[in-house]
Amino acid sequence: MSLFRRLFPRKEQEDTQERLERLEIEWRRMQEEWTDVYAKFRVMHMRVAKQVQKLPESSEEEPQREERDNGIQAGSSLSPRLQKIQQEILARRGNRSVPTKGGE
């Protein structure tokens, strides 16, 4: 056995052991990192799923809102007061484009 130990000194086994420990540590770090990435992905996926669920609900609400507003433009983000002001402005612009009898 002494010949075997001379050919393969103990130092190589220690290097192998250190290498194994280093690889195990790196493997654990990688597992933790991917666990974090997966958790973030799940949160993002849940948010997207919620938004997708809200889309059909909001499309169902728009016709009801349209009926309530009675003539106010649907899909507008303006308050009723600002919508009235906007309609007045558009009406003035429309009157401006109509030629007058004596103006031509």
DSSP letter at 79?
Answer: -
Q: Does residue 90 belong to any structural domain of this protein?
A: yes
Assign 13 a pLDDT band (cuts: 50, 70, 90).
low
pLDDT for 30 equals 96
Q: Which of 19, 39, 20 is nearest to 31 (CA)?
A: 39
Please state the rounded mean pLDDT for residues 8-20: 75
Q: Does residue 39 belong to any structural domain of this protein?
A: yes
Q: Does residue 104 belong to any structural domain of this protein?
A: no
pLDDT for 15 equals 81
pTM value is 0.39
Q: Does residue 83 belong to any structural domain of this protein?
A: yes
Q: Does residue 103 belong to any structural domain of this protein?
A: no
Domain that holds residue 10: 2-97
Assign 104 a pLDDT band (cuts: 50, 70, 90).
very low
Quote the CA–CA distance of 17 and 102 in Å, as a whole number.
102
User: How many domains does the chain divide into?
Assistant: 1
Q: Which secondary-structure segment (H or E) carries 57?
A: helix 10-69
Per-residue model confidence as pLDDT tens digits over 42-101:
999 999 999 888 887 766 665 555 555 555 455 568 888 888 999 999 898 887 665 556
Per-residue model confidence as pLDDT tens digits over 21-36:
999 999 999 999 999 9
